Structure 1
Amino acid sequence: MIYFDNSATTQIYPQVLDTYLKTSQRIIGNPSSLHDLGSQAHRLLEQARKQVAELLSVDYSEIFFTSGGTEGDNWILKGTAVEKQAFGKHLIISSIEHPAVSETARQLEKLGFEVSVIPVDKCGVIQIDKLEQLIRKDTILVSIMAVNNEIGSVQPIKAVSALLEKYPTIHFHVDAVQAVGKIPTLEWLTPRVDFAVFSAHKFHGPKGVGFIYWKKGKKLAPLLTGGGQEDNQRSGTENIAGIVAASKALRLYLDKNKEGKDRVEQIRNALIDGLVMYSNVRFFTEKSSDFAPHILCFALKGIRGEVLVHALEEKQIYISTTSACSSRKKMVGSTLHAMNIPDAEATSAVRISLDESNTMAEAEQFMVIFNQLHKKFSKING
């Protein structure tokens, strides 16, 4: 089996699974309970928080645990809207955001908020001058993902941060789900970033666990009210086993990717070099610093994306159409539409997403199978 769909989810590390199981078995207390079993759970919770904070070089009080990226994005957009609506009801997002942001923004529009959208260039990168033109006196939030999940375009978070220094009251939110471990942290977690979102299953942790970075001094409305957990901001008994496993996964992942990033990029580039030999392949990802090293998006013209996905699946090779969140809905990639890619090509788009566990031998085998399928499709299409 060749697994090239790591942006959708990654396989949990064996050590992380072991930690999850042992924590589940041994730590039975509720971390909010006053007895010793509760105290044990609470200590583990805070140790995990401190480890995540140290890995990101932030204060441990700035880490809040969630169920994943979608919850984090929802919380920051809706929490900002509720908390700051007295100061304004205008939000700005990019045209290539994950549905967790774009659909949340649409929901807020129905509640009376106004949302402006930053366009992108032909490489799927936002235009800073366009963002500046959209900022108003009543703007309360700017939301821009660090790395696009469909084509891998890296957004200019440093440049946005420099622009927003002039607007200190605007919340700056970064969806960092596809960025952590793939591009340097300082490229997307700048001092101007107020909130950032993470999901553990993207870095070999368990599904259903995530966290947000929440800069000290910034305010959000609570996500869930009730028991007062997570400093009264997200009530509900914490998933101790998942949180402890997630913090371990992040540590292991960042250690592995110190060397793995270059190898991942080499594999991506080798795939591009192989695919460029086919005249009917169009690339939406390039060999460039404008793109993260782990994502390759391309189209085989005349072949719908899901057809190629299933043809490769029969050969035990797993890729996706654009993002996993839109694949089953058979949606044309929002990123490609934002880039003004014609529908015929957008519906043919597929995504390969790599990880440090992938090998050059897998890339070579992929090209062998792709060549076979290309010949087959060419005969069918005449």
Structure 2
Amino acid sequence: MEHPSVLEVVRALEEEGFTIKYVDVTKEGQIDLKHLQSLMNDKVGLVTCMHVNNIMGQIQPITEIVDIVSAYPKAHLHVDAVQAVGKVPLIFDGVDTLSLSGHKFNGLKGQGVLFVRNRHEIIPVMQGGGQEYGLRSGTVNLPVDISIVKALKYAVQHTQSLNRQLNQYNEQIKAYIQNFPNVIINSPSAAAPHIINIGFPGVKGEVLVNAFSKHNVMLSTTSACSSKKSSLNEVLLAMGIPAIQIEGSIRISLGANTTDNDIETFKDKFKAVYEEVRELLK
């Protein structure tokens, strides 16, 4: 269920000799807490999970995960909160490290934030002048750093209001989509409000993206992983979604700049695209 930026690092560690264990997920895409508990022992050094999934939007039970992992002092809990910040309340209690990406909350691309509960547990990957408590040496880019701090403060301060607005849009879109036969909402009911994943079984995701693009609606396909390999998306596979449904899956993303007019426009364009592809649906 992890983003490639985490998953590929884990796979690289496995090649170096580390033992990697993958936690099962429920049909809703949430971590199976009983399975996580069964995998924990005194040899576990790291547990990592997403706060909000970037493909389906499911929210992981971070508090419950903390309760399990905290019973093992050697286990470090990392949370990838890139998709959560500004959209759902962040959970810090009991988390050892939490990572964010600036461009997800109106910061600049290439910016990142790592919250560290105990910096003495982190070994620097680069040496130098000792900036940032010696964890990331190098001359500080002050204007860039100030920009991400301001963006983060704004995002956190407006989380509740944006969450309410996006939930309204989310409910409107889902209610509308349910009027169209054979179109399936893949995202779980309790997912984060800014991500809606839907499936058109029998229609390729790329075809849908191109069809919507012609109507000036920009969506993304989840029929393959982000590196455009031919394999089906691992997130949807882990949830037991059929291959034909995965191949025809697209993601609708909402944000702080989404307006009422955008939602109405999307509804009109959705109906038009549906009429174009309905004969292909299975």
Specify the TM-score bucket, using the shorter chain as the normaliser.
over 0.9
- Distance (whole Å) between structure 2 residues aligned to residue 258 and residue 107 of structure 1: 38
- Which residue in 1 is equivalent to 2:96? 194
Runs of 4+ in 1 over 6 A off after TM superposition: none
**CA shift for structure 1 position 224:** 1.8
- Which residue in 2 is equivalent to 1:132? 37
- Distance (whole Å) between structure 1 residues aligned to residue 178 and residue 275 of structure 2: 15
- Which residue in 1 is equivalent to 2:271? 371
**CA shift for structure 1 position 381:** 6.7
**CA shift for structure 1 position 361:** 2.1
Q: Does 1:253 align with 2:155?
A: yes
- Which residue in 2 is equivalent to 1:148? 53
Distance change (3 Å), C-alpha of 1:124 and 1:99: same
How many aligned residue pairs are there? 282
User: Secondary structure at the residue paired with 1:258?
Assistant: helix
Whether contact under 8 Å (2:202, 2:280) holds in the other structure is no
Q: Does 1:336 align with 2:236?
A: yes
Whether contact under 8 Å (1:256, 1:356) holds in the other structure is no
- Higher helix proportion, which one? 1
Q: 1:180 aligns with which of 70, 85, 92?
A: 85
Distance change (3 Å), C-alpha of 1:330 and 1:238: farther
- Distance (whole Å) between structure 2 residues aligned to residue 381 and residue 147 of structure 1: 30
Whether contact under 8 Å (1:123, 1:284) holds in the other structure is no
- Which residue in 1 is equivalent to 2:213? 313
Distance change (3 Å), C-alpha of 1:376 and 1:140: same
- Distance (whole Å) between structure 2 residues aligned to residue 298 and residue 175 of structure 1: 24
Root-mean-square deviation (Å): 2.0
Distance change (3 Å), C-alpha of 1:267 and 1:277: same
**CA shift for structure 1 position 301:** 1.5
Q: Which stretches in structure 2 are left out of the alignment for 5+ residues?
A: none
- Which residue in 2 is equivalent to 1:268? 170
- Distance (whole Å) between structure 1 residues aligned to residue 247 and residue 44 of structure 2: 35
- Distance (whole Å) between structure 1 residues aligned to residue 263 and residue 239 of structure 2: 28
- Which residue in 1 is equivalent to 2:7? 102
Q: Does 1:349 align with 2:249?
A: yes
Q: Which stretches in structure 1 are left out of the alignment for 5+ residues?
A: 1-95
Whether contact under 8 Å (2:225, 2:231) holds in the other structure is no
Q: Does 1:241 align with 2:146?
A: no
Show CA shifts across 1:118-173 (max 9, x none): 01111100111100111122110111111111100010110011112311221010
Q: 1:279 aligns with which of 181, 186, 192?
A: 181
- Which residue in 2 is equivalent to 1:7? none
Q: Greater CA radius of gyration, 1 or 2?
A: 1
Letter in 1 for 2:31: I
- Distance (whole Å) between structure 2 residues aligned to residue 147 and residue 251 of structure 1: 19
Letter in 1 for 2:184: R
**CA shift for structure 1 position 209:** 0.6
Letter in 2 for 1:141: L
- Which residue in 2 is equivalent to 1:112? 17
- Distance (whole Å) between structure 1 residues aligned to residue 30 and residue 211 of structure 2: 31
Whether contact under 8 Å (2:51, 2:81) holds in the other structure is yes
- Distance (whole Å) between structure 2 residues aligned to residue 136 and residue 248 of structure 1: 40
Whether contact under 8 Å (2:45, 2:75) holds in the other structure is yes
Percent of matched pairs sharing the same residue: 35
- Distance (whole Å) between structure 2 residues aligned to residue 306 and residue 210 of structure 1: 30
- Distance (whole Å) between structure 2 residues aligned to residue 325 and residue 302 of structure 1: 19
- Distance (whole Å) between structure 2 residues aligned to residue 123 and residue 258 of structure 1: 24
**CA shift for structure 1 position 379:** 4.5
- Which residue in 2 is equivalent to 1:38? none
Q: Does 1:123 align with 2:23?
A: no
Show CA shifts across 1:82-135 (max 9, x none): xxxxxxxxxxxxxx0111111101100111101000011111001111001111
Larger relative contact order, structure 1 or 2 (CA cutoff 8 Å, min sep 6) = 1
